[in-house]
Amino acid sequence: MLKGKSIIELTDVHTGKKEIYEDENLVTEAIFDILNTNIQGAMYNSPSFDSQSGEAWLLPIYQRLTGGILLYQDEIEEDPSVIYAPLNNPLIGYASNDANNTEDIQRGSRNLTESKAVDGGFKYVWDFATSQANGTISCICLTNVLAGRGCKYGANYFVRLKGDTPISGEIDNNSYRHNHRTFIADGYRLEMIAVRNSTSVNLRKVPEDYIHARLMVRTYTQMATEAIEETNIEMNHYPYWTHYTGGGSKDDTDAPYWNDENRMDYLFHASDGNWYGIARKEIRTYTGVRYGSEVYDRTGFEWYMDKISGDRCTTQRIILPSDTTDISNIGMSGKWLMFAIGSTVYRLDTTNVANIEVVANASYNNNQQYTFCIDDEVVINGWYYYDGRPALYVRNKDTYTDGEQWGHRMVSMYKTYAYQEFFYSYYGYHFRKELYLYTPYLATINNLSTPVIKTADKTMKVTYTLTETEEA
């Protein structure tokens, strides 16, 4: 089994006074999960990571899987199954296997002279200058070597291990949607399908065994499209773009703007099990006949929040700024439905639709690499959100193509891995699967017996010894 010990040494640069803190740690299940998880059989299909392939991307463990360190403000629950820090726990600093040659003031440097192999393990030593990792530190954790470099200067926390395009050709538009929720451990995905010419949506449950090999087929080259359960849910209005009054006749009835069965993806699965989205209703008034056709002039827009719970949809009016003509549905963050008007990010309280707030220090650029869903949470412009506000900068995720995509914004987490599958359009329709490692995992959790306060008049040296011992 692995066992770790840390020594933190603070040195006052003015007086030379030293403070020394020694603690032992808990080893989590993160490394075991990395070595023993094989989603869709991707690990048998030549994965690569950080310019390494074969076993070199993860072994030896001390070089790559535990080659970085993360410093947190608050303690983290000492439970082997806790493999990521809560998003509301501020990350104070980090370091990797190299020197920090950037201006990132959170990042320290590996002391390559003092770091070395020891009997039965490895001793890591990191140095932090007076300007680096200042704040209160209550927990330090070993992590992946890339996570220790942070995301401010080119690196990502989501690092792609494998991508493949197993299926090409014409695909039924209704067979897959990006407003879906994949339950990897439970072996299925839910697809919420809305089309422009229908006032109902179709909820499909599609079985897919993501983590077990199959006897007769090669898992990674297959996709499941046949639903075992389908529920049709009446919304009583047309979805998002197309709902307006007066489109069909003078009697003020509703009708779709045009008859088009293409996808209409605006509903997002939330942690409460419901689906939420914002719909636009275009108000048009009959003004007469021109060139033999009835004419309807737009007089404004109304906005609504749809909530689908079970097989029932409820719709509530919401009030947006009076000049709003278009919004971007983005995703969920706790109880908050996230959307954007232009580049401004808003959050809508799904428990009280009168509560709509501008999110400070946030922006939206409509880039699918930087804005995507992670299960029932959202990343916007590279920021992982917690309770409707940006909490951790993860940057972006590598993407194979920026062509027209179904499912590209939806990432599903399973232990230390992130998985996504999507269609894209490039001289035909293609189905693609991609597997990522979410790198800032906690290989160890080391809550300090006394919090360390690192200030700009102190340097800090962190020595972390990880050894392999026989189980008692």
pLDDT tens per residue across span 303-318: 999 999 999 999 999 9
How far apart CA 368 and CA 409 sit, in angstroms, is: 6
Does residue 202 share a domain with residue 118? Answer: no
Closest CA to 106 of 68, 145, 135: 135
**H-run or E-run covering 371:** none
Q: Is the pLDDT of residue 174 over 50?
A: yes
* pLDDT value for 438: 97
Looking at mean pLDDT, say which of 45-59, 62-76, 195-209 comes out highest.
62-76
Polymer length of the chain: 472
* pLDDT value for 196: 67
Torsion angles phi and psi, residue 411, rounded to 5 = -115, 140
User: What value does the CA radius of gyration of the chain take, rounded to a whole number of Å?
Assistant: 26
- Residue 433 has, within 13 A of its CA and on its CB side, a CA count of 20
Q: Is the pLDDT of residue 259 over 50?
A: no
Does residue 220 share a domain with residue 146? Answer: no
Q: Is the pLDDT of residue 19 over 70?
A: yes
* pLDDT value for 244: 42
Average pLDDT along the chain: 87
Q: Which of 245-254, 327-336, 455-464 has the lowest mean pLDDT?
A: 245-254
How far apart CA 152 and CA 168 sit, in angstroms, is: 36
Q: Is the pLDDT of residue 50 over 70?
A: yes
Does residue 171 share a domain with residue 63? Answer: no
Enclosing domain of residue 118: 2-157+442-468
- Residue 324 vs residue 3, higher pLDDT: 324
How far apart CA 104 and CA 212 sit, in angstroms, is: 41
Does residue 446 share a domain with residue 374? Answer: no
pLDDT digits (tens, 9 = 90+) for 355-408: 999 999 999 998 888 999 999 999 999 999 999 999 999 999 877 666 667 777
Which two structure tokens, joined as six digits, stand for 431?
């189905």
Does residue 199 share a domain with residue 62? Answer: no
Does residue 460 share a domain with residue 426? Answer: no
Does residue 180 share a domain with residue 318? Answer: yes
For the range 38-41, what are the long-range contacts, defined as Cβ-Cβ under 8 Å and sequence gap of 24 or more? 38/211, 38/213, 39/184, 39/210, 39/211, 39/414, 39/417, 39/419, 39/435, 40/210, 40/211, 40/219, 40/220, 40/419, 40/433, 40/435, 41/213, 41/218, 41/219, 41/220
Q: Quickly state the pLDDT bin for 263 (edges 50, 70, 90).
A: low
Does residue 464 share a domain with residue 354? Answer: no
Q: Is the pLDDT of residue 119 over 80?
A: yes
* pLDDT value for 408: 79
pTM of the entire predicted model: 0.91
Residue 141 belongs to some domain of the structure: yes
Which two structure tokens, joined as six digits, stand for 260?
């088009």
Does residue 143 share a domain with residue 195? Answer: no
**H-run or E-run covering 427:** none
How far apart CA 143 and CA 95 sit, in angstroms, is: 10
Q: Is the pLDDT of residue 140 over 90?
A: yes
Residue 162 belongs to some domain of the structure: no
DSSP H helix total and E strand total for the chain: 1, 36
| Beta-bridge mates of residue 352 | none
Report residue 272 CA to chain centroid gap.
18
